Each structure stands twice: as C-alpha cells, then as structure tokens.
Structure 1
Amino acid sequence: MRSSVLAGILATATVAQKGAWEQCGGSGYSGVNTCVSGYTCVFSNTWYSQCLPGTNAPVATTLKTSTKTTKAAATTTSAPSTTTTTTPTNPGRFRWLGVNQAGGEFGDGIFPGRCGTEFTFPDNSAIQTLIGQGYNIFRVGFSLERLVPNTLTLALDTGYLKNLTATVNYMTNAGAYAILDPHNYGRYYGNVITDTAAFQTFFNTFAKQYVSNAKVVFDTNNEYHTMSQDLVLQLNQAAINGIRAAGATSQYILVEGNQWSGAWSWNATNTNLVSLTDSQNKLVYQMHQYLDSSSSGTSVNCVSADIGVQRVVGATAWLRANNKVGILGEFAGGANSLCKTAVANLLDHLKANSDVWTGALWWAGGPWWGDYMYSFEPPSGIGYTYYNSLLKNYLP
C-alpha cells in the first residue's frame, strides 16, 4: 500500500503542472491535466493518464490519486535487450493466496527505531491461524534503513535481521512461502535510489542469508512511483542479478512497477519491464489493485461491483501477450456488500485467468492495525471477520 495508516495517508498533489511520470488524468481525477515541459499527458485507460516524455497534445481524463513528494531520479545504466518467459500456472487454480504482514516498516522516518515501540513484526499465533486455514503465502514488510543503515553496501544490522529471519523461518517451517518486502517505494532515507550497483550489492548480501530456503520469495521493492521508467527497469534487473549471483537460484523473485505498481495502468506504464531477464526463469510480476475511486486503498467505498475486474483486464492481457505471470500483491475492499461483490468478482477473474495470475495477497495483517478498515489480523480484524469466509473459497 502507498503508506501505512500509522504513517499517515499521502496527500494529493496540488502543483500547477504535473511532474515527469506523474498522473494527470483518469476517471474521478480532479487535478491538473498539463505536464511540465518536455512531458505530455498521455491517456492509458479510463482510470489513468500519465505525464510521459513527448510533445503530443494533453489528454484530459480524470482520476484522483495520492502522490508523494520525492527527489527526482538521476542517471541510469542501459536496459537489457532480451526477454524471459515464465511457465504459466494451471488454469482455474491459484498457486498462492495469502496476506500481507505489516509492521516492520512502521515508524517511517524514525531510524533505527525500537522494536515494539516504532515498529513490530508479525504475531506467530495469528500466522499459524491463517496457515491452519489454508493461506500459504505472506508478504513481510521491512525497512531498508533498519536492515542496512546509512549505506546500501554496508553489512546488515544483526538485530533487525535476526527478528526478520525468525518471522520468515516460522512461516516457511510451517509450509508457507514468505515474501521479503523492502517497503521503501524505491527510496532510501527518502531519496530515490539511483545507484543500481549499490542496489545490486544490497540484494546480493541480503539473498545470501536465505540461499537454502526455497520458500523465501524476494520482492525487489514496494511500489516504485514518480520515477524514471528506465530507472525502475534498471533497479529491478539489478536486484535480480544480485539475488542470483548470491546463489539464491531456487527462489521466486517478484518484480514491481512504476506508479505504485498499479494493475490499472500497468499495460501502459510498465511495458518496458517485459525485457527483464532471469537465469532461473522464476520472475513473477507483482501488481497492486484497490477498488476505491483513487485506486489507493484509502476508502471503505468501492466504485462498483465490477471495478476490480475493469481495472485488471489490461494487465491480464499484457501478461498473456508477453508470456509472463503475475500476482496481485495487494488488494482489499471495505466491509460492505458492494465491496464484497467487487472483491469476489476480482478474485473470480484472477482465478479464471490463473494461467497468468499465480494468486493474490490481502492488505493487510499485522498486530498493530487495531480498527483499521482492512485489517486481516485474527481473530477480530475488520477485514478478517468480514472477508475470511469469502477468501477461503479461493485457497489453493
């Protein structure tokens, strides 16, 4: 998700012109439709238009979304030119269904922070409850700044790594998969990561900790956004290269895209990611999709019963056309009947297209959510009590 509730909801941008790569239109959008010099507001689909390099006339559509002020991306290295294919899963059945586990990334901006005060890790009893019901994958959020303080190329912090690994081992020893999620939005201490060599070094060091655990899944970074599209490509490839060079060859790698990795705009925004390569042929393209008017997951209200399907059909077509597979790494809906229908329709679509969709993960579980509208923390989280019986119909 674009931010945790504890960290605060991201504010809508109010600049006179939209910056490079930012959203400039779509259904329900109320911001400006013009871009900074050298960029044009280009229509992607009904819900999304983006400022892309070029000089064509702006396209005015509407969609209000959240943005976050960051420093601009700098130089990048050249992109790989070959493509990789991934064997599709069997149609009609998910490989994975699970729940995000938030907490290790909480306390954003307070580094290193204190475990139990600024941040926390998943509760093992809650994890066991979910595994016992058949959920088989969990995405564990953590902070790069806590795991590798000061510089990406330094040694890992032993205390933070110990807690993270204990959580991962608990999940995988119980038979589930654990996704390691640097929940950093392509940033490090608030700055866009532009040093692809350092990024590769980090993942090489990090992956060495989990070489022997085939149920670990590496996520390259949570929700890159408002960055150079080529930089997003290069960071993903650097992560892949670092992981494989570490000897981690049995693990899947989840790559994420620009514009918060949104499924609704993937087939227009992230088309260059088709050129990512993996020597082990275990890439899965991770997308996120919420059902509220801004696709941001900040409202209990869903647009319509079919909104989830409408927002992912382009991504489904993109995956199939390029012989790739994906996973919906974040989705959720409010505790009301319209959203429940929308969630069911979305999951039905993914399952019907499980030749290209490997599964989905609800946002989110974790012990500190309290009365958060989507909380999937047993036994009393709002999302858990309202949606658990529905989601269990889609278990692998």
Structure 2
Amino acid sequence: MKSSIFTSALAGLAMASGAAAKLKWFGINQSVAEFGSGTYPGVWGTNFYFPSTTSIGTLIGEGYNIFRVAFAMERLVPNELTGSADAAYLANLTTTINYITDNGAYAVLDPHNFGRYYSNIITDTAGFGSFWTTVATAFKDNDKVIFDTNNEYHDMDQTLVLNLNQAAINAIRAAGATSQYIFAEGNSYSGAYVWNTTNENLSGLTDSADKLVYEMHQYLDSDNSGTSDVCVSTTIGVDRVVGATEWLRENGKIGVLGEFAGGANSQCETAIKGLLDHLQANSDVWQGALWWAGGPWWGDYIYSFEPPSGTAYTYYDTLLKTYTP
C-alpha cells in the first residue's frame, strides 16, 4: 500500500499532465434478481425480484449512465451450463436491460456467481463458454449491453480464472456480439487493492474486438468487505487503488471500478471523493465507476442507493452526481 503522500503526488501529477477528464461511465449497481442465493429456481416476488425501472429512470434523469444488473446463473440457465435459457427469467431480465439501454444508458449483464455454479467452483471452461454463448446470443444486437464475465472470482486457481475469462470472451465474440464491451473480473473478489499482486496473469487476456475492460471492486472498511460503514481513513480510497492504477498504465489496459461504496458519514465522504477524484485524474486508464448498490429490496442497507430514501442515496447523491459524464 502506498503512502498518502505518494498517492497525493501521483494524483496531482496526473492532473498537471492534463489527464484529468470526466469518466466515460458513472452509475449504480442494480441488485435484487440474484437474491435468494441457494434457493433455485426460487419464487419471483418471494426469493428474488427485478430492479425498479422507476428508480432507474430517476437515476438516468440525474445523469447516471451505466447500470450493472446482477442475476443468478442458476436461474437464467438452470440445471447445467450447457442448457437453454429459462424463458421467463430471461424475459424479465431483458425487460430491465432494454429499459436501461432504450433510455440511453449502458447495461452491464452481471452473473453474480463468484466463479461458482450451484455453489461449486466452475472448472468446465467449455461449459462456461456455452453459458456465455447462450447469454451473448440473446443480447448481441444491443450495442449498449456490456458483458461482465462473472462477479468476484475468489479462492480459485489463478490459471483457471484466466481460462474462464478467456473462454467467456471467445464465446461472446463467436456468438456475434462484436461491438460490445466485455468486463473481465479477477481473483480475490476482484479487489483493486491486491490486483497487481494477484491478477498479474490476466494481462494476457486477448479480445478480437479490442474492447476489453478490467473490472475491479473496492470498499473502504477495515477488511475490504463492504460490510461496515466505517472507513479506515480519509485517504483509504486512493491508497487502495493506486497500485491498480499503476498496473493498468504499465500494461496498457483500461479499468472500471465495478463496485465501490462507503458509509454515510464525513470520513467516508472524504475518502469517496478522494477515490473518485483519483479515478477522474487518471481517466486515461480508468473508464468508470459504479456504486454498490441500488435495488428495491435493500431496505435500510448502509449503502442503499435506491431512490427516493435509500441511506446512501440521500447522503451521497448530490456528491456523486458531480462525477456523471
């Protein structure tokens, strides 16, 4: 971890060099269709639901232009990776995605599975490719769709993580989805704070369409888990991503912070602002960021960004809107 002095100097250098610019994407995760983990297929309205288009419309109206829509692989393609899509779940997911893109924003398809399928680590790269063929075929004609290979691989063989990502990329392109971006995630929960020491081999990923973006996640509490509203310090946001910034630049790659959040308090607010200022100052390698999370079932969750009364929405919306493209 870099010192805050080094961090400030790096951010200042980037600003002085003229690199600072608005991010390409800035938005909110949408989490509810993946709820009820372990209960499959589950009951719509009881175990899981779908995001509110009313809330998404409010956020689009405020300038947010990207929404990462979490879903469960087991519900979209039940029983086995090589199977067909469940028609009802796909229809509801498509309705959400189309609402987002029809209103001019980007929609990220996020299989929120942590590199697992029915709780087992996915080792069948061909089957994983088949799953992505099914998904990409359904959305290949929508240019504003982005494919996220899988949410937060963790505690997995590093070569397997590389191979799963590559299988997804190859399958998506082979299905005819050649104009869309692909977000590749890494091991160790895709944590930015360890990216340059854990996911070094992912620099070897190839994409025939040259639209690959590396998706990292970063929380600001003591164990990086995003389960506390207490941020370690006012500079912890920058401290934890600066190594990833260097990795992206050294390897000629582009990144996006697919999840970030902090508690509704002044220390976290300063840390969040510092983090976003750093991403913006280094927008030659960072393309965007998405807050975790919105969704109609979050209730009083500490990071809820669900309009009109989510804890984080009421506290952070005024600040976050200043970073929209």
Alignment TM-score, normalising by the size of structure 1: 0.77
Question: Which residue, 268, 278, 295 being the options, matches 2:207?
Answer: 278
CA distance in 2, matches of 1:210, 1:181: 13
Question: Which residue, 214, 233, 249 being the options, matches 2:143?
Answer: 214
Question: Which residue, 33, 36, 41 being the options, matches 1:112?
Answer: 41
Question: Which residue, 248, 253, 256 being the options, matches 1:319?
Answer: 248
Partner of 2:228, secondary structure, is: coil
1:202 counterpart residue number: 131
- For the aligned residues, what is the CA RMSD? 1.0
CA distance in 1, matches of 2:107, 2:250: 29
Amino acid at match of 1:233: L
Q: Which has the higher contact order (CA 8 A, sep 6+)?
A: 2
- After superposition, where does 1:135-214 map in structure 2 within 5 Å? 135-214=64-143
CA distance in 2, matches of 1:362, 1:324: 22
Deviations 1:62-111 (A, max 9, x none): xxxxxxxxxxxxxxxxxxxxxxxxxxxx7411000000000010000000
CA distance in 1, matches of 2:84, 2:111: 16
CA distance in 1, matches of 2:2, 2:101: 41
Matched, 1:293 2:230: no
Question: Which residue, 166, 169, 193 being the options, matches 1:240?
Answer: 169
1:124 counterpart residue number: 53
Partner of 1:267, secondary structure, is: helix
Matched, 1:342 2:271: yes
Amino acid at match of 1:200: G
Matched, 1:357 2:286: yes
Deviation at 1:121, TM superposition (A): 0.6
Matched, 1:134 2:134: no
Alignment TM-score, normalising by the size of structure 2: 0.94
Amino acid at match of 1:362: W
Deviation at 1:289, TM superposition (A): 0.3
Amino acid at match of 2:257: L
CA distance in 2, matches of 1:185, 1:117: 23
Deviation at 1:114, TM superposition (A): 1.0
Amino acid at match of 2:109: L
Partner of 1:387, secondary structure, is: helix
1:42 counterpart residue number: none
Deviations 1:306-355 (A, max 9, x none): 00100000000000001100000000000000000000000000000000
Amino acid at match of 1:260: Y
Partner of 1:327, secondary structure, is: strand
- State whether residues 28 and 66 of structure 2, in contact with CA within 8 Å, keep that contact through their aligned partners in structure 1: yes
Amino acid at match of 1:344: K
- State whether residues 216 and 258 of structure 2, in contact with CA within 8 Å, keep that contact through their aligned partners in structure 1: yes
CA distance in 2, matches of 1:115, 1:320: 44
CA distance in 2, matches of 1:212, 1:284: 20
Amino acid at match of 1:313: V
1:73 counterpart residue number: none
- State whether residues 2 and 242 of structure 2, in contact with CA within 8 Å, keep that contact through their aligned partners in structure 1: no
Amino acid at match of 1:189: Y
Name structure 2 gaps, 5 residues minimum: 4-18
2:23 counterpart residue number: 94
Question: Which residue, 364, 378, 381 being the options, matches 2:307?
Answer: 378
Name structure 1 gaps, 5 residues minimum: 1-44, 48-89
1:387 counterpart residue number: 316
- State whether residues 25 and 289 of structure 2, in contact with CA within 8 Å, keep that contact through their aligned partners in structure 1: yes
Amino acid at match of 2:172: I
Partner of 1:116, secondary structure, is: coil
2:186 counterpart residue number: 257
Deviation at 1:165, TM superposition (A): 0.3
Deviation at 1:46, TM superposition (A): 7.6
CA distance in 2, matches of 1:46, 1:257: 21
CA distance in 1, matches of 2:129, 2:265: 43
- After superposition, where does 1:8-47 map in structure 2 within 5 Å? 45=1
Amino acid at match of 1:172: T
- After superposition, where does 1:46-65 map in structure 2 within 5 Å? none
Amino acid at match of 2:267: L
Between the aligned residues of both structures, percent identity stands at 67
